[in-house]
Amino acid sequence: MSTEPKAMETTWLLPDLDDEIAAPFWAGTARGELLVQRCSQCGRVRMPPRPMCPHCRSLEHAWDPTSGRGTIWSFAIPHPPLLPAFAEVAPYNVIIVALDEDPAIRFVGNLVARADGPINEIDPRTIQIGDPVQVTFATVDDVTLPRWLRA
Ligand SMILES: [Zn+2]
């Protein structure tokens, strides 16, 4: 008797492209740009996107392109129990990238060997905090996700 579940459609948790606050970020990734919000009042950048500047409380902002370069600030290697789509590919890596322009700006993503490569392709034992990385992009369904390559 097998308790193996039937092969199921992969159900990744993907962002809502219609989210009013984050939509410009996802429009940027679709163009191959990694954007950050910049406050139009005090000039500070912030991530994740939000309607109000946490420093000066201005509601005015613009979107700036970044170099897409950073360093691994931290990482984790998830193991089950996980949501089914993620359990299928575990163990994989989740890295936190500190952006070169402003290391207080951090992105959560996966270190991959190639833009469309699987998230479990990199040997986790080879990942080091401080490693330089460069953003790349891969499209999953209708979402273009930032991912990270070794620089
Ligand atoms: Zn501000």
How many whole angstroms from 64 Cα to the centroid of ligand 1?
14
Look at residue 21 in the predicted model and tell me its pLDDT.
Answer: 95
- Distance, in Å, from the CA atom of 91 to the CA atom of 121, rounded to the nearest integer, reads 10
Residue 44 CA, ligand 1 centroid: distance in Å: 6
Predicted local confidence at residue 10, as pLDDT: 56
Q: What are 8-44's pLDDT values in tens digits? A: 445 778 889 999 999 999 999 999 999 999 999 999 9
Identify which of 45, 25, 27, 43 has the alpha carbon closest to the alpha carbon of residue 35: 25
What's the rounded mean pLDDT across residues 32-61? 97
User: Would you state the pLDDT for residue 54?
Assistant: 96
- The SS3 of residue 105 is coil
The structure tokens listed for 21 are 């606050």
pLDDT at 7: 41
Report CA(57)–ligand 1 centroid distance (Å).
Answer: 6
Q: Answer whether residue 2 shows pLDDT above 80.
A: no
- Per residue in 84-141, pLDDT (tens digit) is 889 999 999 999 999 999 999 999 999 999 999 999 999 999 999 999 999 999 998 8
List, in sequence order, the alpha helices (H) in the chain.
Answer: 23-30, 84-87
Bond from prior residue into 15 cis (ω within 30 degrees of 0): no
Output the CA 96–ligand 1 centroid distance in Å: 24
- For residue 11, what pLDDT is reported? 72
pLDDT confidence of residue 4: 47
pLDDT of residue 6: 41
Q: Could you tell me the distance, in angstroms and rounded to a whole number, from the CA of residue 46 to the centre of ligand 1? A: 9
Q: Which residues surround ligand 1, an ion (CB under 5 A)?
A: 39, 41-42, 53, 55-56, 58
How far away, in angstroms, is 45 Cα from ligand 1 center?
A: 8
Can you give the pTM of this predicted structure?
0.88
